[in-house]
């Protein structure tokens, strides 16, 4: 069965433009649908009805709508012409909590072609990914690997969609015994205990003890608090909302610092010996900057295997626990730090590539690794610009 991509904007010409940007996708895999304004408004009525029923009983049911069948919902932020009091962010929240749609991609909430120099990526948004209209049709976002603008924070959407279903299954299973979030996603308890407050508070007061149900209903980053004021929220709602929101938290708050989890290109930037013998070839380094299995990255994985996050589908890329890994004396640079030889290139966050020419900036992450690098592409809005001068 084809995967449905629903694209909605209140301006028909703009909606068609977004659809045309995805014309390169395989039509045997994806069915791209642009609903009419009437269809969209009817969906919003259904979601509103489901929300009202939910506030009474903690669950919703009824006849399915096309939105429930969507693998990916793409929605523009400004919907004034269709319904003046509703934004794309409101739609993302309603769709996540009161429909069965898969991934949600928000468009233009933060600009038409933005790059977020903080690297935090707006975890408050209920869209699973926020992009600009100029970026939606970027082949890198859909699994191709081409040179040019390619933020390292982007997932590969088709893979991310498949992983989402696995996450939902994990959460559903955890609800039987109220297993803590850290155990569900494969984190040691002590890692959660060491989370900076600015990161851990997204989950709750005691992150290592918080389960998915408590997270979804209690702290305002799952269900909004008025929607959570019911006797018991259904497992189905907890699973979908919890999986989506913890995914966003991992991708946009935990991973960017590269000091709780570290991914391959940032890891080899610190420990080049993990690349083996071909460290003088920049393409060897670029081989680590791919969203694929850890076995295909060209790393000496045997040494660091015990530090890897085994439930790798909870992140869009292979990652390792940094706090334990950095003390592993089987790694040459840990045992003999004076032997570290830095290459003539750095990893650029806006290109997912290593380059010899680059621009430096300071990310807004609570981490020792705040200095990062860019290739700087023409036409991209790098904001906030003051992070270049810190």
Statement: residue 83 has pLDDT above 80: no
Gap between the Cα atoms of 195 and 280, Å rounded:
36
Is the pLDDT at 196 greater than 90? The verdict is yes
Q: Would 284 be classed as within a structural domain?
A: yes
Residue at 11 is within a domain: no
Please write the tens of the pLDDT for every residue from 220-271: 999 999 999 999 999 999 999 999 999 999 999 999 999 999 999 999 999 9
Residue among 21, 15, 8, 27 nearest 137 (CA) = 21
Residue 142 near residue 172, CB atoms below 8 Å: no
Measured between alpha carbons, how far is 301 from 307 in angstroms, rounded to an integer?
10
If pLDDT is split at 50, 70 and 90, which confidence band does 377 have?
A: very high
What pLDDT, on the 0 to 100 scale, is given for residue 4? 97
pLDDT the model gives residue 269: 96
Confidence of residue 383 (pLDDT cuts 50, 70, 90): very high
d(C-alpha 198, C-alpha 253), whole Å: 9
Convert the pLDDT of each residue in 322-346 to its tens digit: 999 999 999 999 999 988 888 999 9
Give the Cβ contact number of residue 208 at 10 Å: 20
Q: Mean of the pLDDT values across residues 66-94? A: 92
Give per-residue pLDDT as tens, 126-166: 999 999 999 999 999 999 989 999 999 999 999 999 999 99
In a domain, 185, yes or no: no
**For residue 75, what pLDDT is reported?**
97
% residues pLDDT > 90 (the chain): 91
- Assess if residue 379 is contained within a domain: yes
pLDDT at 85: 79
d(CA 46, CA 63): 9
pLDDT band at residue 276 using 50, 70 and 90 as cut-offs? confident
Say how many CA atoms lie within 13 Å of 319 toward its Cβ: 25
Question: In this model, does residue 301 exceed pLDDT 90?
Answer: no
For residue 168, pLDDT beyond 90 = yes
Whether residue 84 is predicted with pLDDT greater than 80 in this model: the reply is: no
Supply the range of the domain harboring residue 297.
Answer: 261-388
Which pLDDT does position 81 carry in this prediction?
A: 77
In a domain, 266, yes or no: yes
pLDDT tier at 121 (50, 70, 90 boundaries)? confident
Judge whether 37 lies within some domain. no
pTM metric for this prediction: 0.96
Looking at every residue in the chain, the average pLDDT score rounds to 95
The answer to whether residue 61 sits within a structural domain is no
In a domain, 140, yes or no: no
Q: Is the pLDDT of residue 41 over 80?
A: yes
157's CB contacts (< 8 A; 6+ apart) are 72, 103, 105, 129, 141, 142, 143
Comparing CA positions, the residue from 12, 90, 80 lying closest to residue 44 is 90
Total structural domains within the chain: 1
């Amino acid at each position: 069965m084809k995967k449905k991509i629903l694209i909605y904007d209140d301006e028909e010409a703009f909606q068609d433009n977004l659809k045309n940007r995805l014309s390169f996708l395989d039509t045997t895999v994806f069915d791209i649908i642009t609903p009419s304004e009437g269809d969209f408004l009817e969906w919003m009525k259904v979601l509103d009805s489901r929300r009202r029923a939910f506030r009474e009983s903690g669950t919703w049911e009824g006849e399915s709508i096309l939105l429930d069948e969507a693998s990916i919902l793409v929605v523009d932020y400004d919907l004034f012409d269709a319904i003046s009091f509703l934004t794309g962010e409101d739609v993302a929240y309603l769709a996540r909590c009161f429909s069965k749609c898969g991934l949600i991609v928000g468009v233009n909430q933060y600009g038409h072609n933005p790059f977020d120099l903080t690297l935090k990526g707006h975890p408050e948004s209920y869209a699973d990914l926020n992009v600009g209209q100029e970026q939606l049709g970027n082949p890198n976002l859909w699994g191709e690997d081409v040179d040019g603008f390619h933020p390292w924070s982007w997932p590969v959407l088709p893979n991310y969609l498949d992983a989402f279903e696995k996450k939902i299954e994990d959460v559903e299973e955890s609800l039987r015994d109220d297993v803590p979030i850290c155990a569900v996603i494969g984190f040691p308890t002590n890692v959660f205990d060491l989370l900076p407050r600015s990161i851990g508070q997204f989950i709750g007061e005691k992150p290592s003890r918080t389960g998915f149900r408590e997270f979804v209903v209690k702290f305002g980053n799952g269900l909004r608090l008025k929607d959570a004021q019911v006797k018991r929220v259904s497992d189905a709602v907890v699973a979908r909302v919890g999986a989506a929101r913890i995914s966003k938290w991992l991708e946009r708050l935990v991973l960017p610092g590269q000091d709780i989890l570290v991914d391959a290109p940032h890891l080899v930037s610190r420990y080049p010996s993990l690349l083996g013998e071909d460290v003088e070839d920049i393409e060897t380094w670029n081989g680590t900057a791919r969203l694929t299995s850890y076995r295909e990255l060209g790393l000496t994985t045997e040494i660091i295997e015990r530090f890897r996050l085994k439930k790798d589908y909870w992140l869009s890329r292979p990652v390792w626990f940094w706090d334990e890994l950095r003390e592993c004396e089987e790694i040459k640079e840990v045992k003999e730090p004076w032997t570290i030889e830095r290459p003539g290139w750095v990893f650029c966050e806006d290109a997912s590539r290593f380059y010899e020419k680059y621009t430096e900036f300071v990310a807004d992450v609570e981490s020792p690794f705040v200095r990062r690098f860019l290739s700087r592409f023409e036409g991209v809005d790098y904001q906030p610009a003051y992070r270049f001068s810190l």
